[in-house]
Amino acid sequence: MNKRATIKISNIIKEAKDIKTFVFKHNLGAKPGQFIMLTDFEGGEKPFSLADCDTNTFTVTVKRIGEFTSRLFQKEIGDFLSVRGPFGSSFFISKGSVLLVGGGYGTPPLYFLAKELLKNGASVTVVNGAKSKDDLVFCDRFRELGVHYSNITQLGCLGREGTSVDLAQSALAKTKFDYVYAAGPEMMLKALQPILKEHEYEFLFERYMKCAIGICGNCTIDPLGIRLCVEGPVLPKKLVEQLTEFGKYHRDATGKRIEY
């Protein structure tokens, strides 16, 4: 879908030091894992995953990084933003016992996924990791959903020191999961991959996107030429295993390779 809607921000929730959730009243009709392109018409249009979506509301959770996201942070309730989408592939909604692995500001789309999995009768375990307390989001929301939830920081602010991959490893040793889902920095996904040899999984990839409709080719990933804005951002194990550039390099706005 490539519909545009210019919509009022109906609420803004401060999640952490540099992370805010923007709430919109609109029937977007998105599925977990999909993303929107957001603009304020003041320069640039950027992709953001849906952190939640139902028939009259959707939310995106934004980490302040550069120029565009800093401008978003100055917006107030009642300001208008323009949205295109939803775009891309979505997560498979499994039954049975499932593990969700989130990292940093990559975790929020797993909240939308967790809600849909619970509706489908799945037993949901969430492990959530971030560098520090300031980057850890959605802890209370996951707990309120009633999923099995644990979190960790690399700096050990909450006790144990480590990553969501460490938590995932412990969870996989204790429970037999039917399906694993992950969203977060690409190097987190790369570290997770070897411990999922025996499991079916899907990963959500974030790569530089411009058009979001499969035309510009900026988001293609070697060697399959998959356009992450159309065939992704959610990819299943059988495709992830064939990606030669996964965890090695990505591309900037000009298409130039950047090594990890």
Ligand X SMILES: Cc1cc2nc3c(=O)[nH]c(=O)nc-3n(C[C@H](O)[C@H](O)[C@H](O)COP(=O)(O)OP(=O)(O)OC[C@H]3O[C@@H](n4cnc5c(N)ncnc54)[C@H](O)[C@@H]3O)c2cc1C
Using the rule CB under 6 A, is 215 a contact of ligand FES? yes
How far is it between the farthest Cα atoms of the chain? 50
Nearer to ligand X (CB atom), residue 62 or residue 99: 62
DSSP class per residue in 3-28: -EEEEEEEEEEEEETTEEEEEEES--
- The torsion angle over the Cα atoms of residues 74, 78, 79 and 82, rounded to 10 degrees, is 120
Q: Measured between alpha carbons, how far is 30 from 18 in angstroms, rounded to an integer?
A: 26
CA 11 from chain centre, in angstroms, equals: 20
Cβ nearer to ligand X, comparing 92 with 208 = 208
218: contact with ligand FES by CB under 6 A: yes
Ordered alpha helix ranges (H), 136-199:
139-145, 164-174, 186-192
Choose the contact partner of 30 out of ligand X, ligand FES, none; CB within 5 to 8 A by kind: none
Residues in contact with ligand X by the rule CB under 6 A? 35, 46-49, 60-63, 65-69, 105, 108, 206-209, 233
Selection from ligand FES, ligand X, none that 63 binds (CB < 5 to 8 A by kind) is ligand X
CB of 81 to ligand X, least distance (A): 14
Q: Is 202 in contact with 236 (CB distance < 8 Å)?
A: yes
Separation of alpha carbons 197 and 190, rounded Å = 12
| Interface region with ligand FES, contact rule CB under 6 A, candidates 70-78, 114-122, 127-135, 207-215 | 207-215
Q: Does 83 bind ligand FES (CB under 6 A)?
A: no
Write the interaction track for ligand FES spanning residues 223-252; mark x where CB under 6 A is met and - where it is not. ----x-x-----------------------
Residue 168 beta carbon to ligand X: minimum distance, rounded to whole angstroms: 20
Residue numbers of the site for ligand FES (CB under 6 A)?
209-212, 214-219, 227, 229
